[in-house]
């Protein structure tokens, strides 16, 4: 049995025939999670949470790992993360102008992703296909390519009337995938778009298919959290999005526990 002590963070992923997952440790080492599927693991929460932005100890995390002051003031938690149409990075504005320049005044894409429904979304171009994997999409296609974040957000706002911008996590984890052709969905989307955005429509019509290391999808799922279940001992049955599949149809979202100090045994 191998044991180590670390803070949880979002699992790095890579798109291969089957998505490969790693767990990043505090010392920089990476634990390859795929070979552990089918094996017993234990995750034990020490009761300590550190902010992933400033490193300070916090009783509660906000926005996937921030303490309250960082959630209110850090650029990583600014409103335009959730609502890209509010971004002003291209105007030289933001909570941290340098951070905004590096992360938001960069090429972005608007995409359509297939899971429980056809989802419209925005991400930095360098985050393709990571963003799609983190959301548990089965397929994805690029709709438009934009020079900065706000412009992508404006297209997303227009598309929200016709496509959802949320993923139904329970249906996604049960692999209840909507039966719609993404190329046809892209063509349909163009009917709803204002002509001023036509120049940004991507000519890349490749549909990216994503396969996850899950041997059998459950009929129902129950999400658990380390705050109420500080000791988890279970067989690892699969991974999708940022969720681990555990015994008794339980799942845990690793990204939602960013900053939690844990012991892991496998």
187-219, pLDDT tens digit by residue?
999 999 999 999 999 999 999 999 999 989 999
Q: Are residues 137 and 121 in the same domain?
A: yes
Q: Are residues 205 and 110 in the same domain?
A: yes
Is 13 inside a domain boundary?
A: yes
Q: For the beta carbon of residue 127, count every other beta carbon within 10 angstroms.
A: 15
Question: What is the domain extent for residue 254?
Answer: 3-62+214-265
Classify strands 20-24 and 243-245 as parallel, antiparallel or unpaired.
unpaired
Question: For 161-172, what is each residue's pLDDT tens digit?
Answer: 999 999 999 999
Q: How many structural domains does the chain have?
A: 2
Q: Are residues 119 and 186 in the same domain?
A: yes
Domain boundary among 209, 225, 247: 209
Is 122 inside a domain boundary?
A: yes
Domain boundary among 165, 188, 209: 209
Question: For 117-157, what is each residue's pLDDT tens digit?
Answer: 999 999 999 999 999 999 999 999 999 999 999 999 999 99
First-to-last C-alpha distance (Å) of the chain: 6
Round to whole Å and give the CA distance between 206 and 184: 12
Q: Are residues 198 and 171 in the same domain?
A: yes
Is 205 inside a domain boundary?
A: yes
Q: Are residues 219 and 204 in the same domain?
A: no
Q: Are residues 112 and 202 in the same domain?
A: yes
Percent over 90 (pLDDT), the chain: 98
Is 90 inside a domain boundary?
A: no
Q: Are residues 49 and 127 in the same domain?
A: no
Is 85 inside a domain boundary?
A: no
pLDDT at 64 over 90: no
Q: Are residues 258 and 171 in the same domain?
A: no
Classify strands 243-245 and 139-146 as parallel, antiparallel or unpaired.
unpaired
Q: Are residues 122 and 173 in the same domain?
A: yes
What is the DSSP track for the chain? --EEEEE--PPPEE-SSS-EEEEE-TTS-EEE-GGGTTSEEEEEEEEEEB-TTT--B-SS-BTTTB-HHHHHH-GGG-HHHH-GGG--GGGT-SSSHHHHHHHTSS-EEEEEEESSSEEEEEEEGGGTTHHHHHTT-SEEEEEEEESSHHHHHHHHHHHTTTSBS---HHHHHTT------HHHHHHHHHTTS-GGGGGGB----PPEE---SBSS--S--EE--TTT--EEEEE--EEETTEEE-GGGEEEESGGGTTEEEEEE-
pLDDT at 62 over 90: yes
Is 70 inside a domain boundary?
A: no
Is 222 inside a domain boundary?
A: yes
pLDDT value of position 1: 81
Domain boundary among 189, 209, 229: 209
Q: Are residues 260 and 188 in the same domain?
A: no
Residues 6+ apart with CB under 8 A from 30: 12, 22, 23, 24
Name the pTM for this structure.
0.94
Is 177 inside a domain boundary?
A: yes
Beta bridge partners of 234: 41
Q: Are residues 150 and 197 in the same domain?
A: yes
Q: Are residues 231 and 190 in the same domain?
A: no
C-beta separation of 8 from 230 below 8 A? no
Query: Average pLDDT of 55-60?
Result: 96
pLDDT value of position 167: 93
């Amino acid at each position: 049995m191998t044991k180590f002590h670390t803070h949880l963070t979002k699992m790095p992923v890579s798109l291969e025939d089957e998505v490969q997952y790693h767990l990043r440790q505090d010392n920089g080492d990476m634990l390859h999670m795929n070979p552990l599927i089918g094996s017993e693991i234990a995750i034990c929460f020490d009761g300590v949470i550190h902010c992933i932005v400033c490193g300070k100890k916090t009783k509660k995390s906000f926005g996937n790992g921030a303490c309250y002051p960082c959630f209110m003031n850090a650029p990583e938690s600014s409103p335009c993360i959730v609502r890209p149409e509010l971004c002003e990075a291209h105007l030289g504005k933001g909570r941290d102008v340098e951070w905004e320049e590096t992360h938001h005044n960069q090429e972005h894409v608007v995409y359509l992703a297939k899971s429980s429904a056809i989802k419209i979304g925005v991400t930095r171009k360098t985050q393709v296909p990571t963003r799609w994997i983190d959301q548990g999409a089965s397929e994805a296609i690029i709709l438009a390519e934009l020079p900065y974040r706000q412009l992508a957000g404006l297209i997303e706002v227009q598309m929200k009337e016709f496509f959802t911008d949320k993923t139904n996590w329970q249906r996604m984890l049960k692999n209840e995938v909507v039966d719609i052709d993404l190329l046809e969905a892209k063509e349909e989307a163009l009917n709803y778009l204002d002509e001023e955005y036509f120049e940004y429509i991507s000519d890349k019509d490749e549909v990216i298919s994503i396969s996850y290391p899950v041997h059998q999808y459950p009929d129902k799922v129950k999400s658990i959290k380390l705050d109420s279940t500080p000791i988890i001992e279970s067989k690892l049955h699969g991974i999708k999005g940022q969720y681990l599949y555990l015994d008794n149809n339980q799942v845990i979202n690793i990204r939602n526990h960013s900053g939690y100090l844990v012991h892991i045994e496998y």
